[in-house]
């Protein structure tokens, strides 16, 4: 069976041209106070102080058991000092299963830590920031195996393997497979087996031969509802269901989902589980608690969902009563770069990953506000049905001008900035108070994303360049990088 060549890293695929950071003027405090960006709004019935939003970012600071740590409190406390209207806590696991240093909300023992986190954000934002949590489910992803290990231990020997090599004895067959050159091995293995060997085995929502995957529609509504309920009790102001990128719920929505059990195939069937999950969460949390989702405006993979699917999904979610729709793009496993042996595939290394977190090396028209066209179309589709669910736009937004224009031209109702907020968590407050010239501007070269890929504590390269402020600065485990953005001298939240 012919096999697709391994995709190259997006760094190779990216255009070489470097897009310069846009020149623009920062507003005075007076201009900012009259802007749409710093005008209040509501998410459901929840008042929000401004239309500024820090979307979910995994910082790799939880314990290996998924608990909140002092470093994590500091991370979110630091974002809170910038007083965004909404701060979304990183993708947080809904199951009670080991998942490394990813935050978790799948058991009562996580309640005290999450409660402390909510208190810290409330205090350090002086009550200005609403704290949401992103709830995620993901399927099992194994590391790329050593070739010999895979052929000796992981490959399930089938009759077709025996026939291909004319060897009946299993041990002898495995040894013969090890001796085969890659081109011949690729012919003997199925496409899936070859991919498991080259990229690491990865469960898909279409693996309905696996009990756990077949039963996802039964399990997930309750799991999401339980984690959402725990988050509410911990003091979060809202819940964001993670329906984007490479994870379970986005995979149900994907056009590539051809399950035949009523949860795949047609658009309606692909929407069924995401709607059922939302209904379960809504039922548990009641009509007034803000619940929305992060979803893709475009999967950017061959055969994947496109903007017309996204408009339909968004419309259905809005009609069902979601309180906000946060739009992202890409970030899929299907086109990710081949990981090194012993490492796991990372969904932001291929062309769809580059669209998700565009760098200054991305193709035309460059990274700045790159994905706003998607949120604009989705917002228009939702409005056309007579519903006014707030739409959040993201992607390369790092200036007041880009943000304000996006709001004024109908691209979105709130503006999300991830990396700019990472580079300078105070940037919203600096802009609002007329100190835009002091904003430490993100360079969009993805040093932070490379750390995320290696599951290292995420930091910004711009923090490291600043002179140290003396003792007491918390450093990364390797002792080389400061863990939090430098403080903004001489200023406190106001």
Ligand X SMILES: Cc1cc2nc3c(=O)[nH]c(=O)nc-3n(C[C@H](O)[C@H](O)[C@H](O)COP(=O)(O)O)c2cc1C
The interface with ligand SF4 within residues 15-74 (CB under 6 A) comprises none
Backbone angles phi, psi at 56, to 5 degrees: -60, 135
For ligand SF4, the closer of residues 230 and 442 by Cβ is: 442
By the rule CB under 6 A, 104 interacts with ligand SF4:
no
Asked if 58 interacts with ligand X (CB under 6 A), we say yes
Q: Which of 444, 457, 476, 488 binds ligand SF4 (CB under 6 A)?
A: 444
Selection from ligand SF4, ligand X, none that 382 binds (CB < 5 to 8 A by kind) is: none
DSSP string across 466-486 = SPP-STT--B-TTSSSBSSPP
Q: Which of residues 4-43 bind ligand X (CB under 6 A)?
A: none
Report 359-418 residues binding ligand X (CB under 6 A): 394-397, 417-418
Taking CB under 6 A as the criterion, which residues in 453-472 touch ligand SF4?
460-462
The values of phi and psi at residue 310, to 5°, are -60, -40
Place of tokens 């954000």: 121
Distances (CA, A) of 140 to 41, 110, 117, 350, 393: 39, 22, 28, 20, 30
Residue 100 near residue 56 (C-beta atoms within 8 A): no
Q: Among residues 48, 177, 357, 460, which is the contact residue for ligand X, using CB under 6 A?
A: 357
- Residue closer to ligand SF4 by CB (options 78, 419) is 419
Nearer CB in complex with ligand SF4: 119/445: 445
For residue 149, give Cα distances in angstroms to 156, 246, 250, 338, 341.
12, 27, 32, 18, 11
Sites for ligand SF4 among residues 305-324 (CB under 6 A) = none
Does 310 participate in binding ligand X (rule CB under 6 A)? no
DSSP string, 309-369: HHHHHHHHHHHHT-SEEEEE----STTPPPPPTTS---TTSSHHHHHHS--TTSSTT-STT
Q: How many CB atoms lie within 10 A of CB 89?
A: 29
Residue 396 is classified by DSSP as S
- In this chain, which stretch among 122-130, 144-152, 405-413, 437-445 interacts with ligand SF4, using CB under 6 A? 437-445
Of 285, 318, 414, 458, the residue at the interface with ligand X (CB under 6 A) is: 458
Site residues, ligand X (CB under 6 A): 55-58, 90-91, 134, 244, 294, 328, 356-357, 394-397, 417-420, 448-449, 452, 458
Site residues, ligand SF4 (CB under 6 A): 419, 422-423, 442-448, 460-462
């Amino acid at each position: 069976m012919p096999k697709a060549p391994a995709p190259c890293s997006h760094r190779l695929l990216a255009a070489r041209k470097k897009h310069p950071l846009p020149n623009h003027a920062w507003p005075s405090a007076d201009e900012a106070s009259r802007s749409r960006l710093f005008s209040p709004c509501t998410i459901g019935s929840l008042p929000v102080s401004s239309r500024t939003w820090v979307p979910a970012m995994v910082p790799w600071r939880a314990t290996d058991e998924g608990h909140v740590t002092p470093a994590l409190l500091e991370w979110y406390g630091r974002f809170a000092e910038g007083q965004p209207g909404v701060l979304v806590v990183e993708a947080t696991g809904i199951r009670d299963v080991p998942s490394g240093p990813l935050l978790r909300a799948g058991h009562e023992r996580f309640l005290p830590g999450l409660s402390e986190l909510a208190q810290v954000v409330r205090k350090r934002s002086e009550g200005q920031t609403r704290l949401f949590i992103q709830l995620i489910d993901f399927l099992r992803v194994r590391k790329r195996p050593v070739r010999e290990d895979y052929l000796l231990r992981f490959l399930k020997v089938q009759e077709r393997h025996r026939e291909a090599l004319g060897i009946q004895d299993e041990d002898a067959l495995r040894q013969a497979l090890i001796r085969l050159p890659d081109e011949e091995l690729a012919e003997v293995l199925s496409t899936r087996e070859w991919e498991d060997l080259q990229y690491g085995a990865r469960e898909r929502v279409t693996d309905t031969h696996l009990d756990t995957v077949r039963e996802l529609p039964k399990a997930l509504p309750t799991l999401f509802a339980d984690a959402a309920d725990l988050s509410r009790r911990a003091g979060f102001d809202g819940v964001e269901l993670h329906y984007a990128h490479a994870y379970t719920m986005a995979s149900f929505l994907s056009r590539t989902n051809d399950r035949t059990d009523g949860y795949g195939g047609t658009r309606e069937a692909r929407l069924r589980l995401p709607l059922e999950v939302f209904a379960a969460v809504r039922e548990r949390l009641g009509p007034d608690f803000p619940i929305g989702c992060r979803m893709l405006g475009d999967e950017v993979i061959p055969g994947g969902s496109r903007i017309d699917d996204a408009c339909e999904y968004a419309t259905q979610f809005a009609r069902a009563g979601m309180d906000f729709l946060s739009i992202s793009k890409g970030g899929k496993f299907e086109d990710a770069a081949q990981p090194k042996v012993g490492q796991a595939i990372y969904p932001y290394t291929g062309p769809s990953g580059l669209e998700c977190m565009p760098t200054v090396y991305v193709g035309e028209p460059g990274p700045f506000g790159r994905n706003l066209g998607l949120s604009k179309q989705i917002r228009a589709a939702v409005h056309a049905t007579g519903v006014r669910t707030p739409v959040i736009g993201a992607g390369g937004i790092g200036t007041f001008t880009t943000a304000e224009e996006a709001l004024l031209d109908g691209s979105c109702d709130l503006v999300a900035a991830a990396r700019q907020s990472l580079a300078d968590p105070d940037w919203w407050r600096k802009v609002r108070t007329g100190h835009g010239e002091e904003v430490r501007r993100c360079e969009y070269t993805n040093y932070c994303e490379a750390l995320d890929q290696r599951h290292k504590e995420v930091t910004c390269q711009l923090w490291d360049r600043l002179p140290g402020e003396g003792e007491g600065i918390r450093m990364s485990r390797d002792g080389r990088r400061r863990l939090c953005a430098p403080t903004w001298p001489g200023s406190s939240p106001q």
